[in-house]
Structure 1
Amino acid sequence: MDGVTVIDHPLVQHKLTFMRKKETSTAGFRRLLREISTLLCYEVTRNLEMTTERIETPIQGMDAPILEGKKLVFASILRAGNGLLEGMLDLVPAARVAHVGLYRDHETLQPVEYYFKAPEDLRDRLVIVVDPMLATANSAIAAVQMLKDRGAANLRFLCLLAAPEGVERFRAAHPDVPVYTASIDSHLNEKGYIVPGLGDAGDRMYGTK
């Protein structure tokens, strides 16, 4: 799909298989999500702009590569997005963090906003929006629009699993925002869950179901 990168690294796919298993415990699911999010973060940040800085090693001076521009912003769609956020911050601890509070109404499948907090200077930063699942895409579309309304102009969306229907809707709404995912699964069921999927990521991560 245009604008979509499937991260098919063997370690990502291996860990994803264990996350899919219904017998995986809450603790195991949470640990795997943190581990896999670090690997996903590695890929979604692969082409960051670089510059050089003059440094002194113990041997001699050199022009060494360093990230260019302001620090990244990781925007977590609450609550499940925090599972990806923690592992990503392990890799990029200096990143700024935005929180977008949305939940899906299980009757209408539409997102309901209840919280938003983000750095003020979003326009000057790369914003990586994170949510484990891109199912109907309603929450992702709304979250990205909220960030754009606050000035964000350079965004990427990172998820663990996506449904073809969600990818199509998201790309139609935000064609300027590339999508990174570990898997594009078969389809959505009548309740809006990804098939075969892994269930509700938030419930499995927090043990609430």
Structure 2
Amino acid sequence: MTLQLRVYVPPHPLIRHWLAVARDGSTPPVLFRSAMTELGRWLTYEAIRDWLPTVEGTVQTPLAPCAATWVNPEVPLVVVPILRAGLALLDGAQSLLPLASVYHIGLARDEETLEATCYLNKLPERFAPETRVLIPEPMLATGGTIMIVMEELIRRGIDPGFVRIVSVVAAPPALQKLSAHYPSLNIYTATIDEGLDERGFIVPGLGDAGDRTFGT
């Protein structure tokens, strides 16, 4: 069977609402941060719907025994926010995955060459093979940053089929790169925009997510 990258754009009205708030250039940083937190929450909700491994058992209600389902605590859950902008989605994701381990990776893009370089890598040397990884990355533009992160995860034993990316805005160049190299990936994004400008920014996009989040 041929694998193909799956990109989901959930039609949830709250995702659409907070996307509109985030896109608006007049939205102040404090409200932009709220919008990103909510987008992180609702996109993560959609991403983990059929992804978390579960175990079956029974509980005793006040009246009778009853079948029950729990998230399996023995399967490692990991969140890898890409600094800086990935931090904007982290609070929303963590509110749904409070027991997940968080490993930070920081990348900076050269505005002339558009190449990304890693300045911080807190990933462990090796992950358990069954580890589930959620990557909060607001913008999938050229694909350079997310490709570096995926390479680092694969090198440490992560199965791409167990990775889910949560993104606010995605563009075709990044999706094409990911599809060519990691067709078993699943991506959840609020929208897919038309393309990139000469600086590698998504158009219409929402500007620089890191700058707008931190007011810089």
- In the alignment, the residues of structure 1 paired with residue 129 and residue 119 of structure 2 have an alpha-carbon distance, to the nearest angstrom, of 23
Question: Does 2:68 align with 1:33?
Answer: no
1:126 aligns with 2:153: no
Task: Indicate which of 199, 206, 209 corresponds to 2:214.
Answer: 206
Corresponding position of 2:176: 168
- Aligned residue for 1:124, secondary structure, equals coil
Which residues in structure 2 correspond to 1:8-157 (within 5 Å)?
8-48=11-51, 49-68=53-72, 69-119=74-124, 120-153=126-159, 154-157=162-165
Q: 2:204 aligns with which of 183, 196, 206?
A: 196
Task: Give the whole-Å Cα distance in 2 for the aligned partners of 1:163 and 1:157.
Answer: 14
In 2, the alpha carbon distance for the partners of 1:28 and 1:55 equals 42
- CA–CA separation in structure 2 for the residues paired with 1:158 and 1:145: 17
Q: How far apart are the structure 2 equivalents of 1:122 and 1:81?
A: 23
**Distance of 1:194 and 1:178 partners within structure 2:** 20
C-alpha distance in structure 1 between counterparts of 2:26 and 2:99, whole Å? 35
Moved more, 194-203 or 123-132: 123-132
Q: Percent identity?
A: 38
Contact 1:71 1:94 survives alignment (8 Å) = no
Contact 2:136 2:165 (8 Å CA) reproduced: yes
1:56-86 Cα offsets, whole Å, 9 max, x none, are 2222222201123414111111111111111
Distance in 1 (CA, whole Å) between partners of 2:64 and 2:70 is: 18
Q: Could you tell me how far 1:122 is from its partner in structure 2?
A: 4.2
With a CA cutoff of 8 Å and minimum separation of 6, indicate the structure with the bigger relative contact order: 2
2:25 counterpart letter in structure 1: K
Equivalents in 2 of 1:86, 1:123: separation in Å? 26
1:185 aligns with 2:193: yes
Code of the aligned partner of 2:155? D
Q: Secondary structure at the match of 1:136?
A: coil
How far is 1:11 from its partner? 0.9
Q: Could you tell me which amino acid in structure 2 is paired with residue 42 of structure 1?
A: Y
Q: Give CA-to-partner distance per residue, 1:117-173, whole Å, 9 cap, x none.
A: 135434221111111000001000110110111111121221110011221122112
Task: Return the alpha-carbon distance in structure 1 between the equivalents of residues 158 and 150 of structure 2.
Answer: 9
Amino acid aligned to 2:120: Y
1:12-38, CA deviations, whole angstroms, 9 ceiling, x for partnerless residues? 011100110000000000011111211
SS, match of residue 80 in structure 2: strand
Q: Once the 2 structures are TM-superposed, how far is the Cα of residue 104 of structure 1 from its aligned partner? A: 1.1
Corresponding residue pairs, total: 208
SS of residue matched to 1:112: strand
Mind listing any 5+ residue stretches in structure 2 that lack a counterpart?
A: none
2:178 and 2:5 map into 1 onto residues whose CA distance is 12
Q: Name the Cα RMSD after superposition.
A: 1.5
